Chains A and B, each alone.
Chain A
Amino acid sequence: MPDQRGNGMQCNEFESLLTDAIDGVLTGPGLDRFQAHVRVCRTCGPLFAEAEAGRNWLKGLTEVEPPASLVTNILASTTGVDTQRLRVTVRSAQVGITWWERVQASLLEPIWATVRQPRFAMSFGMAFFALSVCLAVAGVKPADLRQVSLRPASIRLAYYHTHARVVRYYENVRVVYELEAFAQQVKRNVRPAATAPAKPKDNKNDTTQQPEQKQERNYSQTDNHLILASVPLGPSLRDLPVVSVTTDRRFV
């Protein structure tokens, strides 16, 4: 913006006073100087006119009416509670909140709001249905529950009975029996015939009452090894030069 002077005012000063002038808060000699600059300056004069026109256009805009469902949608997306219920429970502005209301508001209402959601209700219903089906298949009747004794001894007895029943049932299942028999047969076929199970040592005549001596011998000092080491070399071999061989310890 060119820095023109009009009635002692610069364009920078004009711009800083423009909003005040349009808002109508610029009065007195400041307003006179401002208006004089507007009349003289070829840049600031149109700018003032445009800014004022733009403000008038904007002031002519009316407030838009939000959609009727907006509040309901907002409440549903934030608290998850429909507004109709809340409208009933809207209370007048409270000055003080008791501790019980605080607990109720902070703990119970969120839980209740969650429980009331259709998704949660459907899940709960499905879980209840699945449980009741399982109990019916297992032969549990609600009437039987009245006769159940909750004493520790009774509970323990019931546990052992149930455990024994389950084990009996498992062992008597035909599939399990056949599978076990098949596995044993396969094991017998795979095991070589020569490797017969070692006979247990007969200790019946051992009356020393001493612990069994374990064979812990060093095989490098046995006689066989010494014999092999002392094999005499023949005359032809004795004349051969000694060659030291270094291997890479590569074994094929």
Chain B
Amino acid sequence: MLPARVTRFYGVLAAAILLIVPPASGASSDSNPATGDAIVVGSIGDASRLLPILATDSASGDIVGLLFNGLLKYNERLEVVGDLAESWSVSEEGLTLTFTLRPNVRWHDGVPVTAADVRFTYEQLIDPAVRTPFSSGYELIESLEVLDARTVRIRYREPFAPALESWMMGLIPQHLLEGQDLNTTPLLRKPVGHGPYRFVRWNTGELIELRANPDYFEHRPHIDRYLYRVIPDPATLFLELLTLGVDSTSLTPLQYARQARHPRIERAYHTFRYPSFGFTYVGYNLQDERFKDVRVRRAFGQAIDTQAMLDGVLYGLGSRATGPYPKESWAYDPSVAPAPYDPKAATALLAQAGWEDRDGDGWLDHDGQPFRFTLLTNQGNEVRRQVAELVQQYLKAVGIDVRIKVIEWSTFVHEFIDKRRFEAVLLGWNLSRDPDLYDLFHSSKTKEGEYNFGGYANPEVDRLLEAGRREFNRDARRRIYQDAHRRLAEDQPYTFLFVSDALPILSARFRNVVATPIGIGYNFIDWYVPREQQRYRALMQP
């Protein structure tokens, strides 16, 4: 469900919009920040594999993001910029990418990072014996040439703009991994990277410790140590916040709305709030005659009071979705207005589509059949269960009988979604920063196991999604995806409900924490703690 691993470090530390920040913690003009101290991050889950191309869970992604860099990264304005690549270019027709590496980057063991490492990383990604799920992003590559120690040229079979995001994949060291079985190499547990932090130790299920890399090519991070504590129980995690046992974690909406208002927490922490890249939706099986009619889908959009849903279920910690993009995305079209909550208009639309209560039993009917369907959702997601119940209530008010079925995740995916045995589903998508939606809405992606499971097919949208993949120019891409956004809002293959907020909390002693559209974690190496406020100073023996 998670997008490219590059975005994951921000899962814990990021914030795109800083809502509640006392002035003291804002950007500091301190030109000589103090080094030292440690940050203790609390996480529900432990990491599993600490190599970028094999790190599939979010905890591994958090750690790997500090140990390894990619050729490219997103800057604070969500633009693609060079990371390990000092410069890079896209050829005229979009078929060739050329990267030139920075000259001064070294692996943590002192060996320089070279173009050969890029090739090695690519070879491992496409090696069928390597257990990486990320191979799909590299299938369109025709060849990858090492021109010299610092330059690689990559040719594509067709122009593929999302490829840029795929080069945010962390590079892995050829000199340490060559000839090894990548699936079982000891480096999975003891990684050697080139990023701002170096690996120190990993006590399984307990703690991962990283230490600042003094030779990092940008500059040495000011925070000396990064400690990742595994605390599986949210209640315990909260007690650790109360005793200052962790400096940073992400909160649930309930914790944010209620517990984080505890005076002890308000004194010692700052909370952040920013939209996640993803949305919750009701998806329809468009093979179903009833949902084929766009009037029915639009009526549903008007019959559901999304704002009340947000306030009730997420304590208002989210925003209404008008389409697949959050407001922070450059592909978001601000001209698309959310459908107003208007049950009367919904009833009228349904009547136009032939759905009226002719027999007076309180339920709409058509050809003698009452409007009754089952809304499926997956087990273990309390928010979705509550949202499903609200959808049921709102649709009942316009005369539609909704049955809710909550199903265990694997069964849900394999037996119902993959086999198209559903009428409507309540689900969510987490998306990457790149606005490509080919897999979700292109009419070719309807095979079993693919993600246009509703069977949406609109030739115009198909054309836009294809064009968006071939276009590298951001302004041109913006126009394409904004167009797609408008058309999806019109067609409503999904009823787009809301974008929930990510809710990180961070100890107030950290300075230089800047709010940007991509979050707060992007400049983590610039954070510091004034000497007199450092908590872990006494423990800092090298």
A, B assembled together:
no
Which residues does A use to contact B, with CB under 8 Å? Answer: none
